[in-house]
Every structure is written in structure tokens, then in C-alpha cells.
Amino acid sequence: MKIKAKLTLGVGLLFLFIILLSVLGTTYINAINKDTQNILVANYNTLDYSRNMLRALDEDITNTNSLNKFSENLNKQRNNITEIGEKELTEKLFLDFRALEQKPTDSLLYVSIRKDLTDIMLLNMQAIQRKSDVAKQTATKATWWIGLTGTFCFMIAFILLVNLPGNIANPIKVLTESIKQIAEKNYEKRVHFESHNEFGELAQAFNVMAKKLEEYNSSSLSKIMFQKKRIETLINNMHDPVIGLDENNAILFVNTEACKILGMKTEDLSGKFAQEIAVRNDLMRTLVQELMYNDNKPDNKPLKIYADSKESYFEKEIIPISIIPTGEKEQKHIGHFIVLRNITPFKELDFAKTNFIATISHELKTPISAIKASLQLLDNKATGTLNEEQKQLTESIKDDSNRLLKITSELLNLSQVETGNIQLNIQPSLPSQIVQYALEAVKIPAEQKGITIHVIADDNLPLIKADTEKGRLGFN
């Protein structure tokens, strides 16, 4: 039986029995009320009339007031005939009263009238007793029927209270436990209800669902979805920003790091075309400009991006993705993979190295210049004459200081080139002067090796633009 039918039947039975109890109670209450009302109207009034007539009879009946009182109550009694035999007794009373009116002094008539009134009162008292028994029987019958019906209603209600909640709650409990098992990937769980109600249909639908989930879980699609989730998790856990594009430059995925540097949310990027995002995002425009304009010359210059409250440097790499479809031999382009490698730590180390070299170069030039100045003082004859051995030592010191000055100059130039801060004093210069600087730089090593250098140059050579100071430092 359907759950709806059970509920309708149970509630309907209770409703019918409540109506039955109401009808029975109302019927028997009306019956008892009617019986008591009959006693009051039919018999009590007769006893009251008879009592009034006896009182008038005990008074002086010859008195007009007593006579009228007796006559009035007698007429009321004649109109209140309700019992069998009461009419005859009332008519006999009427005749005796008429006779008494004609013979007020006849004592036998007084006795006869008293007897008539006594008989009428006795008849009505017997009727009251009889009607009281009837009312009592009616009350007993009402009590019995109402009690029987109430007991039956209680039994029906008790049966519904015991069985109906269990019939509804127990299947729900079984289904809840089964759903929890399914949530824990126990797809072999089944629910079996033998009843053909709504729960039976629900159990059948649940079993069909569990079977399909079991088939899906055992299919390759489930494995593919699992692998997809795994790849998405790996990409999101990468520390480098990663963006995946399809063959139409639509964004397939963006990891968390890429969202941070782009300043956008994943839901605002996934599924959108890169061209559409590039319109309102400068970084995206920089990343995909090669793809948008089919630029075959990639820009390998590091990108300086302000992210996480600091400046960071990234190296962009666009990796084309191609596959060979099943059954085919040629590769098919399916998209691009944009990776931004964070090279900020390396850049910071490079800056530190350059600054260190520049600082050391500046610090070394001062003592080297002091050494050269001391050598010039030693070469001056005013300070004294040097012997041959001392001259050789000073020449050796001069060569070493020149070599050190040359090295520090090269280091300083290198640091200036790397930082982009090199300053050149370009002026028109004589080529012969620049060559002379070069000869002076190699003069001593050449003499030591017995090499003679001859310069052949035209005296009318035009001036050239060059930084003679940088050339002198380099040659030295």
C-alpha cells in the first residue's frame, strides 16, 4: 500500500471515529435531555397542580378565592394529561368537584376528592419513576457505546502511533545510511524494500543510480577525470605562473600564481579569449602579443612585474603544444603553454655582483694611483739618484701598478656596462694619439722580449670621435 494511502486511511479512520463519537454523544445527550424534560413537563407539573388543589381543599372551600384556586389548577390539570388512566382520574376529580360545588357541606365529597388527587399524584410519581429508569438506561447505553467507540478509536490511534512512524522513518534511515555509503565511494551498496509504495520506487531509483555510479567509477572516464584533477592540482601548486591556451587562444586554465600577477580571479579568466583579456590587462597583452601578431622573434628580455608588494623579474617561455591524433601521422597544433619563470633571486644576485665589482674597482683605483704617484717621485732626480737595481725594481712596480690599473678599469667598465650606467666622454681625437697610447701600454713588455714596433701613419688623418680617457685606461 502507498504511504499516501496509509496516511489517508489512518487519518481518515480517526476522523470518522471522532465524528462517530460526536454523533453518539450528541444523540444520547439529547435523548437523556428529552427524558428528563418529559418528567419535568408532564409529571412534575401535575404534581404541582395536585399539591395546589390539596392546599385549596384544606382551606375553606366555600371561600371564593380557594374555590377559584382549585378550579384554576383543575383546568390546568385537565390540559396536562400525559399518562394512561390519568384522564379518567382527572374526569372523576372534575365530577366530584362539581358535586362539591353544589353540596359544600358533604364530607364524603371531600374524602372522594382527596382520594382522586392522591390517585393522580401516585400515577404521576409512578410515571416519574418509570421515566427515570428509562433515562438511566439511556445514560447507561450512551456510556457503553461511547466507551466502546472511544476504546476502538484508542486502539486504532495506538496502532497508527506504533506502526506508521516506523513505516516512514525506518526506510528513510536505511536510505540515509546508503547515501552515506555512496558518498564514501562504496558504489556496491544497494537498498531492498519489498513494499510497492513510494519508498519501493525510491529504492529502485537509488539502486539504478548506484549501479550507474559503479559503472562510471570502473570506466576509463573516471580515471580520466581523476588524472585531470591531479594535473590541475599539480599546476595550481606550481610556484611559477602558468597559463594554458587552446588553438584559438582561449584560456583553458590559469594557476593561482598567474592569477596573482594578473590581478584577476580564475572565474574571470577561464573560458575567455586571451585577446579579450589583453584589451583591459597590460600584462596579458605583453604575454600573448607574440601569439596575437604571429611574431616569430620572441622577446627574451626579462619582464619586470610588480607583484606581492615588490618588483619581481620573470622570464617568459611560450611552449607550443602539438599531438598526433589517433590513426593519423601528422601532428596537430592544440594550443600553447605560457610559463613565467621567476628569476628575481638571480637578478638580485646579479645586481649584488655588479655593485660589488663596481665598489671594489673604485676602492682599488685610489691606492693604485697613490703607488703610481710614488713611482713618479722616485723617478724624479730631485729626490735622489737610483742605482740600476733600484731602477729595475721601480720599473717592475710600475708595470705591476699599470697592470692593476688596467684590470680595475676593465672591471669598472664591465660593471658600468652591466648596469647601463657607463659614461663616455666622446670628443674629436687624433688617431695617432690613440695609437701612441696603445704603444705606451705595450712598450716595456715589447722591449723585454726584444720586439721593435714601428708605426706608419699619414700625418693628415682626419679626426675621429672617441673617448680618449677610456682608451688610455684600457691601454694602460
Residue extents of the structural domains in the chain? 3-169, 235-342, 345-422, 424-476
| Whole-number pLDDT of residue 473 | 43
Reading the block at residue 444, the C-alpha cell is 716595456
pLDDT at position 163 is 74
pLDDT of residue 109: 80
- Identify whether the C-beta of residue 193 lies closer than 8 Å to the C-beta of residue 200: yes
- Look at residue 39 in the predicted model and tell me its pLDDT: 61
pLDDT at 61 over 70: no
Least confident of 233-247, 305-319, 410-424: 410-424
Q: Is 474 exposed, middle or buried (0-12, 13-18, 19+ CB in 10 A)?
A: middle
Task: Please give the span between the terminal C-alpha atoms of the chain, in angstroms, as a whole number.
Answer: 112
Is 60 exceeded by the pLDDT of residue 251?
yes
pLDDT at 229 > cutoff 60 = yes
Are 437 and 394 in contact, with CB atoms under 8 Å apart? no
Burial class (CB in 10 A: 0-12, 13-18, 19+), 324: exposed
pLDDT at 221 over 50: yes
93-97, 191-195, 214-218: range with highest mean pLDDT: 93-97
Element (H, E) at 205: helix 198-218
Beta carbons of 42 and 83 less than 8 angstroms apart: yes
Distance (Å, rounded) from C-alpha 113 to C-alpha 102? Answer: 14
Q: Which long-range contacts (CB under 8 A, 24 or more apart) does 4-7 make?
A: 4/198, 6/164, 6/167, 6/197, 7/164
More confident residue, 436 or 444: 436
pLDDT tens digits, one per residue of 101-156: 788 777 788 888 888 888 888 888 888 777 777 778 877 887 888 788 878 878 87
Q: State the pLDDT at residue 308.
A: 66
Instruction: Assess whether the region 235-342 and the region 345-422 belong to the same CATH fold.
Output: no
Pick the closest to residue 334 from 352, 349, 321, 315 (CA basis): 321
Cell numbers 597544433: residue: 333
Please give the helix or strand (H or E) that residue 244 lies within, else none: strand 242-246
For 235-342, give the CATH class. alpha beta
What is the per-residue pLDDT across 360-375, written as a single tens digit (0 to 9) for each? 766 676 677 777 777 7
The average confidence (pLDDT) of the chain is 76
Topology of the domain covering 345-422: Helix Hairpins (1.10.287)
Looking at residue 354, its pLDDT comes to: 73
What's the confidence (pLDDT) of residue 232?
Answer: 76
- What number is the average pLDDT over the span 163-188? 76
Residue 475: the pLDDT is 42
Residue 340 phi, psi (nearest 5) = -110, 110
Confidence grade of residue 469 (pLDDT, cut at 50, 70, 90)? low
Question: pLDDT band at residue 226, thresholds of 50, 70 and 90?
Answer: confident
Q: Quote the pLDDT of residue 472.
A: 46
Confidence of residue 38 (pLDDT cuts 50, 70, 90): low
